[in-house]
Structures are given as C-alpha cells and as structure tokens.
Chains A and B, each alone.
Chain A
Amino acid sequence: MRIALFVTCLTDTLYPETGRAVVKLLERLGCAVEFPAGQTCCGQMHFNTGYRRECVPLVRRFAETFAGYDAVVTPSGSCAAMVREYHERVAEAAGDARLAAAVRATPAVYELSEFLVDVLGVTDVGAYFPHRVTFHPTCHSQRMLGVGDRPLRLLRAVRGIDLVELPAADQCCGFGGTFALKNHDTSVAMGADKARHVLATGAEVLCAGDNSCLMHIGGLLSRLRTGVRTLHLAEILAAAEEDRAPAAAEEDRAPAATEEDQAPAAPSRSRPVPHSGKSPQSPRTAERSTP
C-alpha cells in the first residue's frame, strides 16, 4: 500500500513537528509513508471565504499530486473534509469535466485517527505520555467527517496519560478560518469560553486533531500565560518512552528553554538534541523535543 502524507499548508509552515510526528508514528506502526513534494494546500481558505475561482488550481494540484497513491493521510479533520466534501463540487462548478474525473480518481483521504483506527485497525499505538491531557473534538472532524470517539480511543490507550473530559467539548472554539479575522471579537469571545473550559480541567496539555483550532485556542492560552500548552494528537501518539532521554524528561518537569523551534530539528528517529536552557519557553514547545 502506497501511503501519502498530506501535511497541510498550516502544519507545514507553523507546526512541522506535527508532520514529523505523523511520519514517526506511521513508521513505528510499520507503514512507509511518502511526502509528495508537489503538495501545497487543499484550498479550504479560499473556498470557505467565497473565492471559488482561486480554489480551482489548488484542487487541480491536489488531484495531480496524490494521483496513484492508495491512501492519503492528513493530520487535519478540516482539510480532509474539504477534500472529501467539496473538491468534486469545485471542479463541477468550474465546468471542468476532466478535473472532476481526476478528483473522483483521487485516493481516499483519511484524517489521522480514521487512518489509524479504520485502515490500520489499531487503537494502542504504543505511545507513552505521562501528562494530564484534555481533548477538544474539532467541529469539522466531528460533524463533517464523523470521526466520533476514534481520537479518544487512541488517547485512552496511551500509557501514563491522565485524560480528563473537557466540559462543553462539542462547542465550537471560534476559529472558523477567516472568521477568526473578519469577526475577531466574536471569535475571541468563543475562544475565551473554550479556554475557560480547558482551564477548568486542570490539564497541562490541550490536544486536538486540527492545528488550526489549536492555533486559535493556543494563541489565547499563550497570551494569558495560562501554563497550558497545545499539542496535536499525532504528537502525543508519537511520543514513546524510549524518547524520554534525561534531557527531555528534565525539560518536562521544569519548562525551560528550547532552541528547538529555532534551530533545525533533529530527524524524528534520532535522539532529541540537548537544550541550552537559556531562553524562556515558547508557547508550544515543551514536548517538542520528544517526538
């Protein structure tokens, strides 16, 4: 089976550690995963904001880039939903029959938890993550893809984890793509309630399957210096006990400095690089070194 990773433009640019975690996790589970270099973006931002014309070339690029693979896996419920629900319609609305045919021929696109549970048939991925974690089920993964409790089943099987339920979990966090900018006051008001619920759990880590939502909630948690960090599901599932070299374990106890997001990261399979301990902690970094 030829598996392609669609890393998404956001994760590629802002959260590469999530992409590395997906690679590490899938390789640990015995899957060879490829990264087709032609990929850029699923076109969701353009589509959802009403820029359909601009979306067409992105749909075409997606279909061309992933043609011939058996499956595409992506660490975003929202982008998976965009491809599955709307790519064909964009092509049809553009009146491009060839493109529509190409879109129909695109291999199945799976959100990470779907791929693990449905395709690989695993819920225990051999992860170790001794932290208090709460999970936010993102709207598109729930209401458009219907991933249900797959992410929670995966998390429950993680060794050492203290998984706590998030109150009002089904409430939207307020990100909403360009909504976060166009209606930033409302977006922040919604995010504030989400952050309040996260804080009520006493969790150290907020986990979700979409870095876009995490960027929003995490941005608030960071601005308020709440001491809660956000992590993509892939990063928790990729964390393993053997990664916890003394340096990394140390860092978990006393959040200290990391150069890691500044310096080129070590390949995921190697041991984490030691940290200098000089600069203060970045909002999303403490666990960065372990995957």
Chain B
Amino acid sequence: MNGPTFLGTPAFPSAARTALADTRLRHNLAHATTTIRRKREEAVAEVDDWEALREAGRAVKERTLRHLDRYLLQLEERVTAAGGRVHWARDGQEAARIVVDLVQATGEREVVKVKSMTTQEIGLNEALADAGITAYETDLAELVVQLGQDRPSHILVPAIHRNRAEIREIFLRAMGEHGRAAPADLSDDPQELAEAARRHLREKFLRAKVGVSGANFLVAETGTAVVVESEGNGRMCLTLPETLISVVGIEKVVPTWQDLEIFLQLLPRSSTGERMNPYTSSWTGTTADDGPGAFHLVLLDGGRTDTLADPVGRQALNCIRCSACLNVCPVYERVGGHAYGSVYPGPIGAVLTPQLRGTAAESDRSLPYASTLCGACYEVCPVKINIPEVLVHLRARVVDEGRTRKVPSPERLAMAAARSVLAGPSRLAAAQRAAAAAGRLLGRDGRISRLPGPASAWTEARDVPVPARESFRAWWRRTHR
C-alpha cells in the first residue's frame, strides 16, 4: 500500500490554480476550516492567561533549542538507561534505512503506524514497501488517505479535503483489498464509518508485532516520549506490539515535565479546540511484562541543525504541529494542503519546507511567496512563531540566491526599474506623467481592463483605475506653493 508522494509537485502558483478549480475541495475545506477555527477561538477565549501561556511556550522552546546539544545527550542517556536504544539519523534517507533494518531484524513483514508527520517527512512507508514490508496507518484520517492512495493535506486532519460521502466510497472500495472489508450497506453516517474503521483496524492491532510512531514531545529529564492523539488508536500501536520504533525530529525535546505541562495546555486548545487532549500516552524506555519489550528511538536531523543556524528562520523549529495556522490561513483555506508539495502545508509548511529541504527546487522556492503576509497565522500560533517575518526573510534568501544567475529574471529587472523610478521625486513625477499618458490610451471610462505583459495577471480578473492626470505631488505643487 503505497500512496503517491509529493515529488514532482509543480510550483505553488500552478498547483494552487489546479486546486482552486476543484469545487468539492473548496467546499470541504471552507466548511472544515471555518468550523475548527470557531472551536479554537472559543477554547482559547476561556483561558485568561493565554498570552502568558503562549509566551511561556515560546520561551521554553527557544531556551531548549539554544542548548539542544545538551538536552539531546541527556535524553539519549535516560532513554538508554531505561532500556531503550537511540539511533541518530543525519537525514531522512538514513532514518528510513535505520527503521527498515530494525523491522527486518524482527523478521516481520508488516507494521502498524501511529499518525506521524516525521515518518511522512522521511518517506518511511515507501521505504518499507521497497523492502517488502507493509505499513498500516491506523489514524482514522490517515487510513482514509492511505486507502484512497492519496496524500495528506493537513497536519492534524490529513483527510480534511474529503467529506463523508467520499470517505464512504473509499472504505467500500479499498478496505477489502487490505483486510476486513467494510459492510456492503455502509452509510456515510460518521458513527458507521468509525465502526467500519474500528473493525478493519482491530485485526491489524491484534496481529502486529511491530509498531512505528513519531512523538509530539521528548522529555529529556526522564527520557520519556509523549504522543498526543484523539482516537486511542495510537495507544493501541504503542502498547500492543512487541517492538516499538519511534522516529522523532531533534527539535521535539523539552527539558522537564514542568515544561511539558505548558504545551499540554497550548496544544489541544489550538489544534482541536478541546480543553484537554483525549489520549496522551507517554513511555520511558521499556517496562518488563508491560508494553513493547524493545524500544528504538530514531532521532532525525533532516535539515534541522542547518535551520537552527539561521537566527530568523530557526523559530520555525518551535512548532508543536497544532495546525492552528493552517486553519486560519486564507490561502490554505482555498488551495488546501497538496499545493504546498510537502507533508508540511500551510503557513508553517511555507517556512519549514524551504528550510528543511533547501530552495534548489522551484516548487520549494515558491513556498515563501505563498502568503499575503496577512499575519493571521502569527496571531494564533501557540508558540508565537512570527511566520510572516520568516516568510519575508526566506524571500530575501530566494532573491539573493537568484542574484548569482547571470541573466536576471523579469521580476528582478522590474524591481530594479521600480527602484530607479522611486530613487527621487523628479523621476517618480516623470513616471507618473508617463503612466497617466499610457493610462489614457489603455483606459476606458476611467478604468483599465487590460494591461500588457506580466501586469496582465492583475487585469485578468480586476480592473485598475486610470492613473490620475494630476498626481498628488503635482496638485500640491500647484496649490500650496
């Protein structure tokens, strides 16, 4: 079972154009984001010291990242002491190879998975499939994505782009191919859908010898991994198998349980709009006769150390993957997650992906521009990541990298031209006169409906006013001197 990957996604503007034309996607997304947005708002409004809590979350994350080396070593020591094994992976490929080797060493041909962004990031399911190992997703929405041979489009609700009717169709079509089939008379009632998934998954839970997960937090002081989820399916994977392998980004460390407490308040209200998270599982190494007898922690760098070296960009590593920024983002709401060409979509994806993967690919270079800089994401982020600031910072990086190219892009030429026009008032005044003259040629009834060249992107759907014959500065000179 191997869903399509994000490889080969076109640059954001054209991927977005395709998504915008998908009316069902637009409708599902608008409905889902509006609902979840309202829930979050209500849950946050209940907390008097929300702003102080956000500030505390940000401060803990920043302090931890500043001393990350120390906390990681402490974590390794505690995990090892508690009977776990720690593996260090420089990049996604290495991490995936480690996991494949670990699974092969058990002799098993299938694993059950807890919903995890990091295993998506490293393409684990594909790597396992290449080694003849089947990975079963057990998160309900992730199951929908996997059965539909689809890609996740949201951090928290990977199948947010699907509605009930589509989920029913997918279950009816695909469940039988991979295990227990859905009942033939399945309706699109959420209860029935959940029941079908429950029966389908139970088989897997009871059979699986190996579980694979990520983790929301790693507590350094005790070497404890923490998974936060809503369904309880994650807990099944974390407790039933004999071997548990957790793949976690190095930025997920928090120093102490007291620090963790802040995030356990921030996360549920920001992500699902709940006061408290339904299932919070934590485990420390292994425990005799209880839960998995073998625990492996794979710590992934995957561009995180490089990101840490950037004083402005590093705040993206504070992210606790609550998805609040996606839900409020007006761009995400309209184009959905696939257009971002990464497992991390939306505002956080637009700042994280180009840092983790670099900006060599055009699609990754286009991500920092996939925002109006409206600031809604920054306003809701529970750890106060100034996403607009990082976006603009990354745009500068993209532009500066482009400067090394001998042939300047049309945009670079336009920006240079604008700069020279704006270099002084007389040049600007001359340009205004020229614009007014051109505008009179192009315009009708005071409006221009068709502009030439790259500016035609504006007039495709929008008019522009004809530039005034007398600019403000000309009026001022005439009347105030």
Taking A185-B20, A223-B449 as contacts, is the C-beta distance between A54 and B415 under 8 angstroms? yes
Does A175 interact with chain B (Cβ within 8 Å)? yes
Q: Residue A39 at the B interface, CB < 8 A?
A: yes
* B208 beta carbon closer than 8 Å to chain A: no
CB-defined contacts of A54 to chain B, threshold 8 Å: 415-416, 418-419
Given A12-B472, A188-B462, A139:B13 Cβ within 8 A: no
- Write the nearest CB–CB distance from B362 to chain A, whole angstroms: 13
Q: Which residues 185-229 of B sit at the A interface, judged by CB distance below 8 A?
A: none
B464 & A219 in contact (Cβ 8 Å cutoff): yes
- Indicate which residue in B368, B411, B422, B440 contacts A58 across the interface (CB closer than 8 Å): B422
Which of A128-136, A243-251, A281-289 contacts the other chain? A281-289
Counting CB contacts under 8 A, is B7 at the interface?
Answer: no
| B454-481 vs A, Cβ < 8 Å mask (1 yes, 0 no) | 1101101111111111111111111110
Residue B283 is within 8 A (CB to CB) of chain A in the complex: no
Q: Is B376 an interface residue (CB 8 A)?
A: yes
Would A50 and B472 be within 8 Å (CB), given that A14-B467, A190-B331 are in contact?
no
Contact of B475 among A9, A16, A189 (CB under 8 A): A16
Taking CB as reference atom, which chain A residue is nearest B445? A280
Question: Total interface residues on A, using CB and 8 Å?
Answer: 76
Residues of the B chain whose Cβ atoms lie less than 8 Å from the Cβ of A117: none
Contact present for A186 and B20 (CB under 8 Å): yes
Residue on B nearest A188 in the bound complex, by CB: B461
B459 to chain A, nearest CB (A): 8
Query: Which of B330, B379, B419 touches A174 (beta carbons < 8 Å)?
Result: B330
Number of B residues contacting the other chain (C-beta, 8 Å)?
71
Q: Are A37 and B473 in contact (CB under 8 A)?
A: yes
Asked if A240 lies at the interface with its beta carbon under 8 angstroms from chain B, I say no
Partner of A13, one of B411, B457, B467, B480: B467
CA distance in complex: A186, B333 (Å): 10
B435: which A residues are within 8 A, CB to CB? 13
For residue A9, which residues in chain B have a CB less than 8 angstroms away from its CB?
422, 428
Minimum distance in angstroms from B349 CB to a CB of chain A: 15
B399 contact from A50, A179, A183, Cβ within 8 A: A50
- A139 near B471 with CB under 8 A, answer no
Q: Which of B12, B465, B467, B473 contacts A282 (CB 8 A)?
A: B465
For residue B2, CB closer than 8 A to chain A, the reply is no
Chain A residue numbers with a CB within 8 Å of B462 are 188, 191, 216, 219-220, 222-223
* Complex Cα gap A241–B15 (Å): 52
B171 contacts the other chain (Cβ, under 8 Å)? no
Q: Which residues of B contact A215 (CB under 8 A)?
A: 464-465
- List A residues 178-202 near B (Cβ within 8 Å): 178-191
On whether the beta carbons of A185 and B472 are closer than 8 Å, the reply is: no
Interface segment, one of B104-112, B290-298, B390-398: B390-398
Q: For the complex, what is the distance from the CA of A54 to the CA of B419, rounded to whole Å?
A: 6
Task: List residues 154-181 of chain A with CB under 8 A from any CB of chain B.
Answer: 170-172, 174-181
Q: Does A35 contact B (CB under 8 A)?
A: yes
A45-B418, A139-B374 given as contacts; is B379 within 8 A of A284 (CB)?
no
Interface assignment of B424: CB less than 8 Å from any CB of chain A: yes
Contact A35 B330 (CB under 8 A): no
Decide: A265 near B399, CB < 8 A? Known: A15-B468, A48-B373.
Answer: no
State whether the Cβ of B16 lies closer than 8 Å to any Cβ in chain A: yes
B392 to A, closest residue via Cβ: A48
Q: Is there contact, CB below 8 Å, between A264 and B460?
A: no
**Given the complex, which residues of A lie within 8 Å of B422, measured CB to CB?**
9, 40-41, 58
* Selected A-B contacts with CB under 8 Å, 18 pairs: A16-B472, A16-B475, A35-B480, A40-B424, A41-B422, A47-B392, A48-B373, A50-B398, A143-B378, A143-B379, A172-B330, A175-B372, A182-B369, A184-B461, A185-B17, A190-B334, A191-B461, A218-B463
Closest 10 CB pairs of A and B: A282-B446, A176-B372, A219-B462, A50-B395, A172-B374, A50-B399, A143-B375, A19-B472, A16-B472, A139-B374
Interface residues of B (CB under 8 A from A): 12-13, 16-17, 20, 330-331, 334-335, 368-376, 378-379, 392, 394-400, 411-412, 415-416, 418-419, 422-425, 428, 432, 435, 440, 445-447, 449, 454-455, 457-458, 460-480
